[in-house]
Amino acid sequence: MRSKKVSVGFTVVLTIFTLSLLATSTRAAAQTEVVLHSFPVGTTDGYEPVGNVVFKGATQLYGATVDGGTGTPYPRGTVFELAAKRGVWSETVPFDPNTADGSPYSSGLLVHAGKLYGTTIGGSSTYGAVFELTYTAGIGWAKTFEYTFPGFTNDGEGPNGPLVYANGNLYGITGAGGSNLNCGTSGENVGCGTVFELTPVTGGGWTESVIYNFGSGTDGQVPVGIVFHGGSLYGMAEDGGLYGQGMVFELNPKTGMETDIYDFPYPTTGGTTGAVPKVALVADSAGNLYGTTSGGGAYNNGIAFELTYDKTTKIWTPLDLHDFDYLVDGAYPSALILDKSGNLYGTTGEEGPSNSAEGVAFELLAGPTVPWTENILYTFCSVSTVSQNCTDGSYPSSGLTFDTNYNLYGVTQEGGEYGWGTVFQIILNDFSL
């Protein structure tokens, strides 16, 4: 990683562009990347952001950092807000956790009914918690911990991945814990992870229940995220499955019945199958599933894939949409997002099309055949200064988020004006997506 230098924070001024509606879906001009905020170390706003950013309203953007803040006895990261007013993005901190709260290290926040929900690791129980942030005009932000994981054998440990709201409940995953203890190394028996449900209680609060424990036979170990579609939860596990390379599952949240719908085969050099998924899936309106893997594929740098379901044969068919090459478009792709035309967008966390590249933002154009056409929208570490390289950000290891005009937003873990990460915007100049 590049060396990091401490400096004084500043607010980046952004001119908000007014874009015209285009008549076709042809990609317009080269894309523009704008750094909305650079995180300085040693200040109250946190640094090293992780996870997807989310919008609450048209001009309020939220995310999390894994370090910094003013928490006691030592900083544990923050939940930050970037708000745009008259073209200026200013940063505030709604949640500045202390050691008892834990660190908001997850794959992103959830916005529901005007509130923010997320997870922490560590904390008072050391096993993590689910939190809620509520804003009241004239008062500010209030935090509530809806559930703290006790670390019991039959419960989960280490909640991770974004929460999902469906059927009036919150759903999430833990990367460890649960009733099956055949995971871990050196006899740790840490548990293989769970899918949990939080159900609202009349009068306030939530109750937690584990609806599935991983690690029973070949059903997978260490889940990495879930998505809700058509009454089911879909997700992936980064380990286990028939071949030990991870798998894709369907889970009925009402019955707790889990179905293994795809197992990633052993990766081979020059092969076309992915392996070891690390992020959540995304589903389109037809129920097709899209995701990425961290390994496998023609270059062993991961793939983007689609799973389609045949209602007659009841079989899921995998399609390798794209193989990532660290010398061309980087390695270790993030979770994907879909536009209304079925095109996919994401980032790679490292490398790219030049010796100085540190990740890219990419687009995969939906097509009738595979592989899909890829466009590299932006190559990170393209802008630098003598005192600090990568002022445009580096290592965009998290996924992207759309605004209402289909411009893209995300974070980099490093780089920026001070070297400690950024929040960025990529202007696509195309409303017809």
Structure tokens at 242: 């028939």
Residue 180 is part of a domain; what is its CATH number?
Answer: 2.130.10.10
Q: Which residues constitute the domain of residue 79?
A: 34-427
Tens digits of pLDDT across the chain (433 residues): 333 333 333 333 333 333 333 323 345 445 789 999 999 987 788 999 999 999 998 899 999 999 999 887 788 899 999 999 887 899 999 999 988 898 997 768 999 999 999 999 988 888 999 999 999 999 999 999 999 998 776 788 999 878 999 999 999 999 998 988 777 655 555 789 999 999 999 988 899 999 999 987 788 999 999 999 999 999 999 999 999 899 999 999 999 999 999 999 876 544 558 999 999 999 999 999 999 999 999 999 999 999 999 989 989 999 999 999 999 999 999 999 999 999 999 999 999 997 778 999 999 999 999 999 999 999 999 876 555 679 999 999 899 999 998 999 999 999 999 999 999 999 986 544 4
Planar angle of CA 392, 424, 139, nearest 5 degrees:
135
Residues in the chain: 433
Q: How far apart are CA 15 and CA 302, in angstroms?
A: 36
Q: How far apart are CA 428 and CA 400, in angstroms?
A: 13
Amino acid of residue 131:
F
Q: pLDDT at position 387, please? A: 52
User: Residue 14 falls within a domain, yes or no?
Assistant: no
* Sequence-distant (≥ 6) Cβ neighbours of residue 371 within 8 angstroms: 320, 321, 322, 323
User: Residue 17 falls within a domain, yes or no?
Assistant: no
User: Residue 20 falls within a domain, yes or no?
Assistant: no
User: Residue 2 falls within a domain, yes or no?
Assistant: no
How many folded domains does the chain comprise? 1
User: Residue 378 falls within a domain, yes or no?
Assistant: yes
Structure tokens at 407: 């411009």
User: Residue 222 falls within a domain, yes or no?
Assistant: yes
User: Residue 1 falls within a domain, yes or no?
Assistant: no
User: Residue 384 falls within a domain, yes or no?
Assistant: yes
Q: How far apart are CA 40 and CA 50, in angstroms?
A: 15
Contacts made by residues 16-24, CB under 8 angstroms, sequence distance 24+: 16/84, 16/87, 17/427, 19/405, 19/427, 19/429, 19/431, 20/431, 21/431, 21/432, 22/429, 22/430, 22/431, 22/432, 23/432, 24/432
